[in-house]
Chain A
Amino acid sequence: MIELRDLSKQYGARAPAVDSMNLRIEGGEFLVLAGPSGCGKTTTLSMINRLIEPSRGNVFIDGVDTHQTDPVALRRRIGFVFQDVGLFPHMSVAENAGIALKLAGKRPQEIGARVDELLALVRLPAEHFRNVLPGALSGGQRQRVGVARALAASPRLMLMDEPFGALDPLTRDELAFDYRRIHERLRLTTILVTHDMTEAMLLGDRIAMMREGRLVQVGTPHELCSAPANDFVRAMMESPRRRARALAEVQADEK
């Protein structure tokens, strides 16, 4: 269980990037942090594993304040997937996927076996990909390695910062679906940041809608659609349907 309590981040004298976030995420839940660009989603996510230090407020993971945990130890317990992947270009796929285990001081045979398991999980056949350098991979394959790397140390919590945003639509859907499956299978708690409302509605058990650093509404996709807290949430939630209607009109015109 993750709890954000009064979590805030302010840079200098500017308006706060994140302003007094209060949020509870249950164990095993898939929560989507959604909202327009610059609303503070990524900052909120990064404060959970202390890649960014909060200006105020606390994060509790299973009841323990993250301020009382060494940030390096904290990050090793939490999987993090970045939008720009950030694979280490000088390391092979296997070395990238196994880096967390190497940092934890595991033996090479142990790492090798686990890496094969991880690559199978993200559907990259180990015998083909083990020794390949990231430069030779496609965007989707790279993000699969990114997911494998985040899962290596068997974290209970996964933080994902627009992980599929830079991928082409087919790859994105395939990868999103694959990840949702992994989430179920490993009983992970996942917090995923996106500004794509379709993705938010399809993936999330619940959606936390943010705007200008503040949490506007939290609920299941159905709750947010049927009882939006304000016009902003309504507009956001309607955007997929609006697009679908526009699409249908385009298709109708063509006929």
Chain B
Amino acid sequence: MLQMISRRLFLGIITVFLVSVIIFTGVEILPGDACTAFLERDAHGKLLENCRIEQGLNAPAISRYVDWVSGALVGDLGTTLNGQKKIIDLVGFRLRNTLLLASMATLIGVPLALFLGVVAALWRDRAADLTISTFTIGAMSIPEFVLATLLILVFSIWLGWIPGIVLTSYDAPLGEFFPAIFLPVIVLTLVMTAHILRTVRSSVIEAMASDYAQMATLKGVPYWRIVFRHVLPNALLPVINVVALTIAWLLGGVVVIESVFNYPGLGRMMIDSISDRDLPVTQAIALIIASVYVAVNLTADILTMMANPRLRTLHTRRR
């Protein structure tokens, strides 16, 4: 067990390392560098040379990579292109804001998806299932920005209940994001619920049709006892990984939603930094998001291992 977890942990670290290599090489391969982007039209001769010296761009790529990674390890992500601000100070608050958004969506979305998915599976092909499945296809087929726009149209413009955009400054205390945060949370929750629900439904249907569920039925175990004792523990195990993938997907999906709602999170900062060609900031955000992605998936894998009796006893028996 411990061996499997440490192996998984090791693979996760390797993945983050590869990500950092990909980000760094990507930035190296693309035409132009931080200085040509910063100086724009003036990027030639003396100015360009000075800037490169200032940013340390004349050093060989390997040593710059080592500098970057070792800085990131101790929480130093460098400074923005114009050298005014430390990236870590800018990123910190925005990461907090995005996490607030994502965690609210997760806390509402996951239980909702579990409940609706189980209902849809147990009443398969009946009215409840058809309604839920139609909603799922709908929520998966409508892009987030469309859903967001429609909700703004209905709730902010026609009904006037909730503000349509967030006007809070990025470093405001969390309480000030309410109630403007409700619409982005609703959009994220809907999309997330749809994705998880599909897996829950098919997983429960599969488990209900399994040999052990039929065996339990034949020996006379009451229906709800079969559902709760025999089926759900088995059916919900694979769901952990899908929840993790969906949360990780949130980090990408949140970018568009943050732009629509003007929400001061990591995603909008990423788009801004790419548009401004502020490569140090883009690099830093890419690394943070990728690390969160790997960490979430790693947690899910370990949770699955710990929850699965077959895996739990696999290695201990030998000792």
Q: Does chain A bind chain B?
A: no
Interface residues of A (CB under 8 A from B): none
